[in-house]
Amino acid sequence: MDFWVTIILMGLSFSVLLFLLSSGLSLIFGFMNVLNLTHGGYYLIGSYIGVSIYKWTGNFLLAILAGAAVAGIIGVGMERGFLRHLPGQLLDQVILTMGFLFIFTNLAKWIWGPVPQMAAPPSLFARSLHIGAYSVSVYHLVVIFAGLIVAIVLWFFQEKTRFGAIIRAGIDNQEMIMAIGINFKLVCSWVFCLGTVIAGVSGVIGLPLLGAYLESGSEILLYAIIVVIIGGLGSMQGALAGSFLIGIIHSFSKAFFPPLAFFMMYLLVIIILLVKPSGLFGKRS
Amino acid sequence: MKLPEQLLHKNRVSFVPYIWVGLVLIILPLFLSPYLLYLAAKILIFAIFAMGLNLILGYTGLVSMGHAAFFGTAVYAVAFLTVHYGIGSFWLVALSGTLGAVFMALLFGLFIVHLSGAYFLLITLGISQLLFSIVWKWRALTGGDDGLPGIPRPDLGLPLPMGNDTYFYYFVFLIFIGSFLILYKLIDSPFGHALVGIRENEPRMKILGYNTWWYKYVSFIIGGGFGGVAGVLYAYLIGIAYPGDIGLMASVMVLFMVILGSPGTLACPLIGASLLITLEYIVSTFTAERWPLILGVAFVLVSMYFRGGIGIYLVRYWRKVKVLHGIPKS
């Protein structure tokens, strides 16, 4: 029974990482019509900066802040300097963002070297909790809990605040919000910043689970892509539903039939494509 | 009875630059070392690969990030048939490899060709990576990340052994010319024009009565076929099947080739392939470690400052040169 609990917890904590990443991807696409394939790269930045700060200061919270800040700054820089000039041009955006992903990954290799870096969870959480007869890793619980908090905060933000209303309106009809006087470019930078900051945080949180390694950029990007296809681009609920599904499937498949892990996910993707092409919660078109 | 304007009107496409390029390609083996000749053959093969993507992307407007799925399928098909089953007949293996790629396109195209830009892109990315992960994990069949070596040069039944790099280069060159002519015929036909129409304004084509799904599907399959032919040749060129040929990296490389060469033009595949493979060669001689970094910077530069691709500049340059020499514009 221990085994099942562990699998579920590992799956759910991976879901949290995926949710943090794919909500940013989805939001950026929904609002700005930009397919940001660099997003995995921000996870990578977060994890490498985070691991360095953590090893240097021993303070996990500081590592999270640092990872988030660096990812956010680089993200805004990329948006203002480059993406801003390619509105709506899918092909160019894809090439640009892939280019940045390559650059980030290779720079990380240059600075930190090719060997993956692991980090132990902060000592406060590096224990096992014993519930009855079962023993679970506290850190997994913390991650899941943190993920729930973030999901609730994001929901609140989107539904109850003015900025959230602007975002929802922008996802629905870009031209209209420009017409009523919203400074679209400024909001775009903020949205992009928000997305990349969350990705950076995700990178640091994922350190005790996955470590900091060079392939993390493209690997986690691929999972995030599956999540947004299933959940629908532009939708928070979609990202939540999708990451939940993928996290669980991933964990179970790895436990029972490792080679079939990808198969299961793509099967789900094909089913979604046949039944509801824009994803479970996706906006039309 | 042709109208006078029609008599004066020259062919839209002047074949002269292409003939020059063809001549250069023919005499190339006289000047190149064996390794450079191998690179030249690789360029021609990737040009065929890019022709397929050019059809799908440049002419039909479908942004596919999974083109290597077809290429890699053919490479591995050739590897299986020659290494595992020891089939010696080139034509049988080549046909099977190409059909394998076409089958992939038939299968996947069915589900995805109706999707809009971003979704289509993400799905093709996923398909390419799905095949990559299958190939990577199924070590027993594919050798995983060790690859599947041991593919011999093809036996064409001619007195010219393909083990000789020069003969193989000419063989690849012939297939390249053949592919180019097929592509030209496709583009310069009602079918090709319909594809361009779909790229430019699909709703309008639908209103005019075109079954756009069918056109997109067929172009996807043909594009996959070109990828398959390229894959077959590549397997014979390098003699080993490697997962990198079927995954995201290869798909992104060929996508970049098409973009470099200006998608939607005839010259695109060769220009893009030669530029990228030459760049890779030059950079690798100095610093193999930083190649992804340089490639990334190239991506950023091209997407920001050379949006139409470099091919357009070359075409304009050619036209300028012709005007300077007093040759009337074509």
Residue A103 included in any domain: yes
Q: What sign has the CA pseudo-torsion B300, B305, B308, B313?
A: negative
Do the chains contact at B114 and A277, CB–CB below 8 Å?
A: yes
Q: What pLDDT does residue B321 have?
A: 65
Residue B41 included in any domain: yes
Residue A224 included in any domain: yes
CATH number at A60 reads: 1.10.3470
Cβ-proximal residues to A107 (8 Å cutoff; 6+ apart), any chain: B293
What is the predicted ipTM?
Answer: 0.87
Residue B229 included in any domain: yes
Distance between CA atoms of residues B221 and B217, nearest Å: 6
Residue numbers of the domain that contains B106: 4-324
Residue A64 included in any domain: yes
User: Which parts of A132-203 are beta strand (E)?
Assistant: 134-137
Q: Using one digit for the tens of pLDDT, what is the confidence trace for B246-282? A: 888 899 999 999 999 888 888 888 989 999 999 999 9
Q: What sign has the CA pseudo-torsion B226, B227, B232, B238?
A: positive
Nearest to B112 among A95, A262, A273 (CB): A273
Tokens of B199: 């790229």
Does B296 contact chain A (CB < 8 Å)?
A: yes
Residue B330 included in any domain: no
CATH number at B82 reads: 1.10.3470
* pLDDT over 90 at B241, yes or no: no
Does B307 contact chain A (CB < 8 Å)?
A: yes
Q: What sign has the CA pseudo-torsion A120, A121, A126, A130?
A: negative
Count how many pairs of residues, chain A against chain B, have C-beta atoms within 8 Å.
111
| Chain A positions in Cβ-Cβ contact with residue B126 (cut-off 8 Å) | 222, 225-226, 229, 266, 269
Q: Using one digit for the tens of pLDDT, what is the confidence trace for B99-149? A: 999 999 999 998 888 888 888 898 898 888 888 888 887 777 777 777 888
Q: Give B64-120 as a DSSP string.
A: -S-THHHHHHHHHHHHIIIIIS---BHHHHHHHHHHHHHHHHHHHHHHHTTS-HHHH
pLDDT band at B325 (very low <50, low <70, confident <90, very high): low
Do the chains contact at B295 and A96, CB–CB below 8 Å?
A: no
Nearest to B123 among A35, A229, A233 (CB): A229
Count, in order, helices (H) and strands (E) of chain B.
15, 2
Nearest to B293 among A29, A96, A102 (CB): A102
Residue labelled with tokens 């289509």: B120
Question: In total, how many domains does chain B have?
Answer: 1
Residue A87 included in any domain: yes
Q: What pLDDT does residue A243 have?
A: 93
Distance between CA atoms of residues B44 and B177, nearest Å: 9
Q: What pLDDT does residue A133 have?
A: 64
* pLDDT over 60 at B12, yes or no: no
Nearest to A85 among B127, B295, B304 (CB): B304
Tokens of A129: 């909790």
Mean pLDDT, chain B, whole residue set:
85
Residue A282 included in any domain: no
* Residue B247 Cα, gap to closest chain A Cα (Å): 12
Do the chains contact at A96 and B303, CB–CB below 8 Å?
A: yes
Do the chains contact at B292 and A105, CB–CB below 8 Å?
A: yes
Do the chains contact at B122 and A225, CB–CB below 8 Å?
A: yes
Question: In total, how many domains does chain A have?
Answer: 1
* Residue B280 Cα, gap to closest chain A Cα (Å): 15
Q: Using one digit for the tens of pLDDT, what is the confidence trace for B155-182? A: 776 777 777 778 888 889 999 999 999 9
Measured from the Cβ of residue B35, the count of other Cβ atoms closer than 10 Å reads: 10
Task: Tell me which of A68 and B30 has the higher pLDDT.
Answer: A68
Identify from B53, B114, B116, B119 which residue to disrupt to test chain A contact, counting A C-beta atoms within 10 A and taking the largest count: B119
Residues 237-256 (B) with a CB less than 8 A from some CB of A: 248, 252, 255-256
**Mean per-residue pLDDT for B45-73?**
93
pTM of the predicted model as reported, rounded to 2 decimal places: 0.88
* Residue A243 Cα, gap to closest chain B Cα (Å): 16
Do the chains contact at B299 and A285, CB–CB below 8 Å?
A: no
Does B293 contact chain A (CB < 8 Å)?
A: yes
Do the chains contact at B303 and A99, CB–CB below 8 Å?
A: yes
Instruction: Kindly give the confidence (pLDDT) of every residue in chain A, 285 residues in length, as a single tens digit, with 9 standing for 90 and above.
Output: 677 888 888 899 999 999 999 999 998 988 888 889 999 999 999 999 999 998 888 888 899 999 999 999 999 999 998 988 887 788 889 999 999 999 999 999 999 988 888 888 777 777 777 766 667 778 888 888 888 998 899 888 888 888 888 888 888 888 888 888 888 889 989 999 999 999 999 999 998 888 888 888 888 998 998 898 888 887 888 889 999 999 998 888 888 877 777 777 877 887 887 787 777 877 654
Nearest to A95 among B115, B122, B299 (CB): B299
Tokens of B114: 């109706």
Does B130 contact chain A (CB < 8 Å)?
A: yes
Q: What pLDDT does residue B218 have?
A: 95
Residue B329 included in any domain: no
Residue numbers of the domain that contains A176: 2-275
Do the chains contact at A82 and B300, CB–CB below 8 Å?
A: yes
Nearest to A90 among B63, B248, B298 (CB): B63
Residue A115 included in any domain: yes
The torsion angle over the Cα atoms of residues B28, B31, B35 and B39, rounded to 10 degrees, is: -30
Do the chains contact at A95 and B259, CB–CB below 8 Å?
A: yes
| Chain A positions in Cβ-Cβ contact with residue B136 (cut-off 8 Å) | none
Nearest to B297 among A85, A89, A103 (CB): A103
Does B141 contact chain A (CB < 8 Å)?
A: no
Q: pLDDT over 70 for what percent of chain B?
A: 92
Q: What pLDDT does residue A285 have?
A: 44
**Mean per-residue pLDDT for B194-199?**
92
